[in-house]
Amino acid sequence: MVSSRDSEIIELWLERQASPYTESCYRRDVERLQSHVLKSLNQITLGDLQSFAQALIREGLAPISRARTLAAIRSLFGFGHRMRYLQTNPASELTLPVYEHRLAERIVTEDEVSRLLETGAKVRDFVLIRLLYGAGLRVSEACGLL
């Protein structure tokens, strides 16, 4: 059950997100929470949030996906509390799942970039590789430039 005031605070929180992709993901996370608890934000308890976390496990979400979803929910409740919409922040006690950090495995080394650039790639590919590496962009961020 979403009140108009809930919708208002959620929209204010979503407007603060830097990327449209992040906003879309966070909106989906909140909708998933709302359909699980069927309560107004100010009625949601830590127990409700823990139940939601368990539901994410049952749905088969990977630990990193659950952590991102729950971090978004914690952010929303923190925002609602700072804005004085929520008297308490039940999400402050919510434990995020532990997951394996695998970013280092996906980072391209300088030697790997040099080899890519030396392969005689098309001009477009050459420029894209230089942009990605030189600016430290993710592929999705580079695609967003188009």
Q: Which of 87, 83, 91 is nearest to 37 (CA)?
A: 91
The pLDDT tens digits along the chain (146 residues) read: 678 899 999 999 999 987 888 999 999 999 999 999 999 999 999 999 999 999 999 999 998 899 999 999 999 999 999 999 999 999 999 988 876 666 556 677 778 777 877 777 788 777 877 788 788 887 778 787 76
* Domain assignments of the chain as residue spans, ordered by start: 4-93, 103-144
SS3 labels along 4-34: HHHHHHHHHHHHCCCCHHHHHHHHHHHHHHH
- Which CATH class name applies to 4-93? mainly alpha
**pTM score > 0.95 for this model?**
no
- CB-based contact 41:85 (threshold 8 Å): yes
Two tokens, residue 105:
């495995």
Residue 6: alpha-carbon gap to chain centroid:
20
